[in-house]
Amino acid sequence: MLKIAHLDLPPLQGAAGTLRLPGSKSISNRLLLLAALAEGETRIEHLLEADDTAVMLDALRALGCAWHRNADGSLTVQGLGGHLPVSQADCFLGNAGTAMRPLAAALALLAARDGGHYVLRGVPRMHERPIRDLVDALRELGCRIEDLGQPGYPPLALRGPASLQLNQPVRVRGDVSSQFLTALLLTLPLVAQQDVVIEVEGELISKPYIEITLALLDRFGVRVQREAWRRFTIPAGSRLRSPGRLQVEGDASAASYFIALGALAATEAPLVIEGIGRNALQGDVRFADAAAAMGAQIEWRDHALAVRRGRWPLRGIELDCVAIPDAAMTLAVMALFADSPTRLTGIASWRVKETDRIAAMATELRKLGATVQEGADWLEVHPLRAEDWRTAAIHTYDDHRMAMCFSLAALHPLAGATPQALRILDPGCVAKTFPDYFETLFDLVQARSEDIPVLCIDGPTASGKGTLTERVAERLGYHVLESGALYRATALAARAAGIAWTDEARVASMARSLALHFSGGRCYLEDEDITDALRAEEIGLGASAVAALPAVRAALHELQLSFRRVPGLVADGRDMGTAIFPAAPLKVFLTASAEKRAERRYKQLISKGFSANMEGLLRDLEARDLQDKTRSSSPLVPAQDAFLLDNSDLSIDASVEQVLQWWAQKQAFPA
C-alpha cells in the first residue's frame, strides 16, 4: 500500500490482463457483525482486509468477541449468542459507516436489554456524518442514547438498562442512508420476543444494499418478511445462528473502476475481472449495465466478467443512480470521454458520504477542464475536448473513491489530449476499502516508455546511493532498480544453474529473463530473497567475470530498460544516466569525501559485528575510486546534466529532501 503525500500517474495508453477483486466491504462488515452476534462459530473466507474491516474487528474484540486468522487467510469468529461479555467499551470506528451505524443499533439494544455503557467515536469526518434518523428510531424503542458532540451525529454513548417498546412499529427514514434500515434489520433479531415491525418513511434509497442485508440474515437463520419496500417484519423468536462457513464475494463497487478501465482502454485484449458474477448479492454489479449503455463490451463468465472497449467515444447517458450510488462516481469520470453530456440523478446520498461527493466531484472535474453542473441530488458532466484537458493535482478529501475513480483520468491520451502526468493527492486513502488498488492498477495499464519518469542516482562506492535510491523511490511510490545487483544476481543464478561464468551465450540467455525485483532495500529473484547471498565474495568475483562479457552486458541492458514501469523508476548505479536512461529528466551524482565514506563504512561494519580498520578501509576506497574513474569500460563520471550532491555533511533525510526538491522543480503541477 502506498503511504505517500501524492502519486504522479504518467499518461496511460491502454490496459489488459486479469485481476482478482478484494472482498466486498458491504458484505464483510455485515458478516462480521452477524457472526459476532450469532450462536456458534463462523469461518469467513475472502474477507476484505482494509481500514473499514480493521476498525470493525478491533471494536468486536473490545466488546469481548474472540476471533482469529487461519493459515489459509480466512477468519474464524466465535459468536457471542447475542450476549456481550463486557458491560463497558469505548470503540473507535474511523470513518466506517458500515461499522458505526449497525454497531450503534446493536449496542443500544443490548444495553437496553442487559445493561451497560458503550461509546462509539470516529475520525472528525465521521462526526459530521448524520446518524439522527437511526438514533431517533432507537430512542422511540426506548433505548438510552446520549449525544457526546453535535446532536444527531457521532460520537454517541449507549447506556442501559432501559425498557424496550416493541409493540409498535419502529419508524425510520429511508431517504438519507440505507445503512439506518440495515442497522435495525441486523440487530432487532436480538430482541424479537414478538414480531418486530419496521416501517420506512419516505422513499428508500440504495435498495440493493437492503437486499444484501436480507440475504445475509437469511443465511443466519432469520427470514424477514418484506412488504414492498415500506414494511419489514422480523418474526417472533428469531435467533441468529451461524451457517458455519461463508465466502465474501468480490467488491462490486471496486469492480466499477476496472470495468471503466476496460471500457476506456482495453482495445487489444479484454480486461478480466474475477470474483464477481451477474448473480452477485451486491447491487453495484449493475454498474456493468451502465457501462454497457455508454458503449463497453461486457462478457459475463462464471464468477467473472471480461470488458473491452466497444463504442468510441463513449456515449453520454442520463441515469437514475439511486441503486448504485457508490459506483456511480466512476461514471462521472467516464463522462469525460463521452460524445455528449452525462447526467447522474438520484445521488443525494453522496452529500453525506466520506465527503460531500457531489461538491468534491464537481470541483475536481473542473480542475481537469470539464464543464460541470450540480444540484441537490444530481450532477451533469460535459465531455472534454482534446485541447481542453488540463494538468491537475486531484484532492481526494480522505475519500477512497475519489482517489480510485480519478485515477482513470490518466487515460486522457486516448481522448487525443496531450500526454501529461496526473497527480493524486493522498493516494493512501484507498486503504479504507482497497489498500492495493494502485499496485493492481499498475499491473494492468500500459504507457509509452518515454512517458514513464526515471530518476537516476550514481556515485562512488559507499556514497550511500543505494539507501538514497530506496528512500526517494519510497517517497514517490516508484519502482527501484539497483543495477549493480543485476550482475551479481546473474552470477548467482548462473552458478545455481550449473552454467560456467565464462559461457557467454548461456549466461546472456539466462540474464535476459532474470525475474528480479527490489523492495524495502532487499533484492528478490523470483520469490527468494537473495540480498545476503549477493554479498558473498565469490559472487562478487563472478559479477566481475560476467560483466566482462559483451553479450551479457547487452542482455542486462535490455533487462534494465524493462524496469521502467508505471508509475516510475528510481535507478541506482553505473551508466544509468549516461547509457541506460540518457533522457531521464533528473540525474543525481552523489558523492562524499573518501574519509567520510570510510567512516560510514567502518560504523556499518562494526554495527554488524564485523572487525574493521579505518585506515585500511580508506585505502581500499581510494584505490576503488581510482579504478572506477580510469576503467576503459563505463568509467565512473557524472552525466553532463547531473546535479552534484555532496552528502559529506548531510543526513540521509536531508539528502532525500534535496533530491525531491530538484524533482519537484521538474514538475508542472498547479498548487
Q: Among all residues, which ones are annotated catalytic?
A: 326
Written as one letter, the residue type at 42 is T
Q: Is 353 annotated as a binding residue?
A: yes
Nearest to 442 by CA among 478, 412, 471: 478
CB 122 within 8 A of CB 155: yes
> What span, in angstroms and rounded, lies between the C-alpha atoms of 208 and 212?
6
Q: Is the dihedral of CA 124, 129, 132, 135 positive or negative?
A: negative
Q: Which of 492, 434, 597, 18 is nearest to 266 (CA)?
A: 18
Contacts with 603 (C-beta within 8 Å, 6 or more apart), sequence order: none
Q: Residue 279 half-sphere exposure, CB side, CA atoms within 13 Å?
A: 4
Annotated binding-site residue? 357: yes
Nearest-10 crossing angle of helices 252-265, 287-294: 20
Q: Is residue 177 marked as binding?
A: yes
**Looking only at Cα atoms, what is the longest distance across the chain?**
93
175: Cβ contacts below 8 Å, ≥ 6 apart: 202, 203, 204, 205, 348
**Closest among 9, 31, 19 to 77, alpha carbons compared:** 31
461 is in an annotated binding site: yes
Q: Is 460 annotated as a binding residue?
A: yes
Is 221 assigned a ligand-binding role in the annotation?
A: no
Give the whole-angstrom CA distance, residue 412 versus residue 241. 51
Residue 311 annotated in ligand binding: no
Instruction: Please tell me whether 142 is known to bind a ligand.
Output: no
Q: Which residue type occupies 547?
A: A
Q: Is 360 annotated as a binding residue?
A: no
Q: Is 97 annotated as a binding residue?
A: yes
Q: Is 73 annotated as a binding residue?
A: no
Is 443 in contact with 19 (CB distance < 8 Å)?
yes
Q: Does 363 carry a binding-site annotation?
A: no
> 193 by DSSP, 3-state: which?
coil
Q: Is 462 annotated as a binding residue?
A: yes
Tell me whether residue 87 is annotated as binding.
no
Is residue 81 a known part of a binding site?
Answer: no
25 marked ligand binding residue? yes
18 is annotated as contributing to ligand binding: no
Residue 207 and residue 548: Cα distance in Å, rounded? 68
CA distances from 527 to 246, 429, 524 (A): 31, 28, 6
28 is in an annotated binding site: no
Place of cell 482517489: 403
Contact call for residues 198 and 184 (beta carbons, < 8 A): yes
By C-alpha distance, which of 82, 61, 158 is closest to 117?
158
Residue 465 in marked binding region? yes
**Binding-site residues for phosphoenolpyruvate:** 25, 97, 129, 179, 357, 401, 432
**Binding-site residues for ATP:** 459-467
**Binding-site residues for 3-phosphoshikimate:** 25-26, 30, 177-179, 206, 326, 353
**Binding-site residues:** 25-26, 30, 97, 129, 177-179, 206, 326, 353, 357, 401, 432, 459-467
